[in-house]
Every structure is written in structure tokens, then in C-alpha cells.
């Protein structure tokens, strides 16, 4: 029986890499993707004919989540795992400049929408004794100037992974920080958010990595996330927050 995996934020970057890596792992795997850019989703559906299905829309919208879950139930009736990858960095600003609405909007995208989607998929994933993988960030444990919303939301995600591990013994969960990856987010940090809202010291780390050719290609974290959700999260890492370069991942 084919494994059914949900991946959010699949139109580009790490999300697309996860889809590609899953397709390489098993010729029978089926992926359901969600992203706002329908053209990119259509391209994946064409490339992986009959193995990639999608819902185009904002995953923070309950209607999009419900459509996704409904399609999975109608077309396959079960789900083996989820990789929660979709997220945004903005707003980036000094902490005193955030207002309550910005906090709420950011958390709705980067945290509450994930909790909502997990809640809807949980009965199916529990029945499959499956896996839930959260794309976290080093910013969840180390602050970067201007990233208050982002760091806090990712820290909440780490805690949620622990909660699932503690309270839902039939599944496994993990939060993995991917490192600094060559994606559109890094372009935005260097060209848009950084010069306007970050300190020179905080921005320098990202510009230096790009100039030195040290940004990771998306397929590197993509392969790790794909393996965790498809092959299974090791028991000893259940509920953990972990970095991509942690040797325990290489051992698993």
C-alpha cells in the first residue's frame, strides 16, 4: 500500500526539495502538497503524474486545510505523515515596533495553522502510526535582531513537537532546524529585511555565508525531512528539537 505524505509550502525551496526526495525514496509514495503558487504545483503534478496532488491556497486558512483533508479522505482514506514546512519570516523589526496584530498574523501562519492542520490529520496519522516533522529554525533557540515573531513561533513549534511525543504515543514527532539554506528567504534577508531592520552584525552572518558559498542547497535538508517522515523518526529523537548537522540524525 502506498504511503500518503502531506507536505506544506511545496512550490519552491525546501518544500519542493522534500517532494523530489520523497519521490526518489519510493516509486509508490503519494504526496499531497499545499502552496499559494498554483503554477508551481501544477508543474509538480505533471512531473509526478498520479503521485502528486495539491491544494492551491493559504494554508493558514481553515477552508484550505479542510479541502486538503477532505481530498485525502476521498481519494485515499488514510495519511501516513506530515512535513510542516510552510512559513514566513516577516515582519522583521525591532521588538518595540511590533503591534499585537502583527504578532497574531505571524503566529497564525507559522504556528496556529500548523496546530490546526495537525489536529485534522491526527486521527489518520495515529491510525497509521505515522510521523510528523516540523521545519524549525536555529532562531528558535538563538535570537537574531528583528526576528522576535519568527523565533517565538518556531520555539512554540518545538514545544508542540514535545507535546505530541508525550501525549500521542502512537505517532512520532520531531522539530528539525535546516541550517542556512539557499532559498528565497535568504535573498529576502540579504536584500530586503536585513538592510532595513537588522543590525549590521546580525546581517553579516548571512551575507558572509552567501559570499563564501556556504549556503546549503535545498536538497540537503530536503533529503533529511523526507527520510524522517517516510522511514520514521527514531524512538530516541521523538519530540526532540534538533539541528540538521546533529550526528544523531546521521546515525539513524
Residues with a known catalytic role: 136, 150, 154
Q: How many CB atoms lie within 10 A of CB 126?
A: 14
Strand 131-135 vs strand 30-35: parallel, antiparallel, or unpaired?
unpaired
φ/ψ of residue 100, rounded to 5: -60, -35
φ/ψ of residue 144, rounded to 5: -115, 135
Q: Are 90 and 192 in contact (CB under 8 A)?
A: no
Q: Are 120 and 65 in contact (CB under 8 A)?
A: yes
φ/ψ of residue 17, rounded to 5: -60, -40
For residue 16, list its beta bridge partners.
Answer: none
User: Please, what sign has the CA dihedral across residues 90, 95, 96, 100?
Assistant: positive
Question: CA neighbours within 13 Å on the CB side: how many for 125?
Answer: 25
Amino acid at each position: 500500500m502506498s504511503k500518503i505524505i502531506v507536505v506544506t509550502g511545496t512550490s519552491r525551496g525546501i518544500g519542493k526539495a522534500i517532494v523530489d526526495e520523497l519521490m526518489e525514496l519510493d516509486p509508490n509514495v503519494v504526496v499531497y502538497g499545499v502552496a499559494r503558487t498554483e503554477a508551481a504545483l501544477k508543474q509538480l503534478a505533471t512531473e509526478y503524474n498520479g503521485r502528486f496532488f495539491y491544494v492551491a491556497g493559504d494554508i493558514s486558512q481553515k477552508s484550505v486545510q479542510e479541502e486538503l483533508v477532505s481530498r485525502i479522505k476521498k481519494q485515499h482514506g488514510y495519511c501516513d505523515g506530515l512535513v510542516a514546512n510552510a512559513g514566513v519570516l516577516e515582519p522583521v523589526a525591532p521588538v518595540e515596533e511590533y503591534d499585537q496584530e502583527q504578532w497574531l498574523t505571524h503566529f497564525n501562519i507559522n504556528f496556529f495553522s500548523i496546530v490546526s492542520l495537525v489536529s485534522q490529520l491526527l486521527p489518520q496519522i495515529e491510525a497509521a502510526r505515522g510521523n510528523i516533522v516540523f521545519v524549525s529554525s536555529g532562531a528558535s533557540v538563538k535570537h537574531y535582531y528583528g526576528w522576535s515573531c519568527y523565533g517565538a513561533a518556531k520555539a512554540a513549534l518545538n514545544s508542540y513537537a514535545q507535546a505530541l511525543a508525550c501525549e500521542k504515543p502512537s505517532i512520532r514527532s520531531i522539530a528539525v532546524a535546516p541550517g542556512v539554506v539557499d532559498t528565497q528567504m535568504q535573498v529576502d534577508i540579504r536584500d530586503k529585511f536585513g538592510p532595513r531592520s537588522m543590525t549590521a552584525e546580525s546581517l553579516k552572518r548571512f551575507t558572509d555565508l552567501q559570499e563564501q558559498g556556504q549556503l546549503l542547497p535545498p536538497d540537503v535538508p530536503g533529503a533529511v525531512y523526507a527520510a524522517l517522515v517516510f522511514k520514521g523518526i527514531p524512538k530516541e529523537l521523538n519530540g526532540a528539537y534538533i539541528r540538521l548537522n546533529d550526528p544523531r540524525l546521521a546515525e539513524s
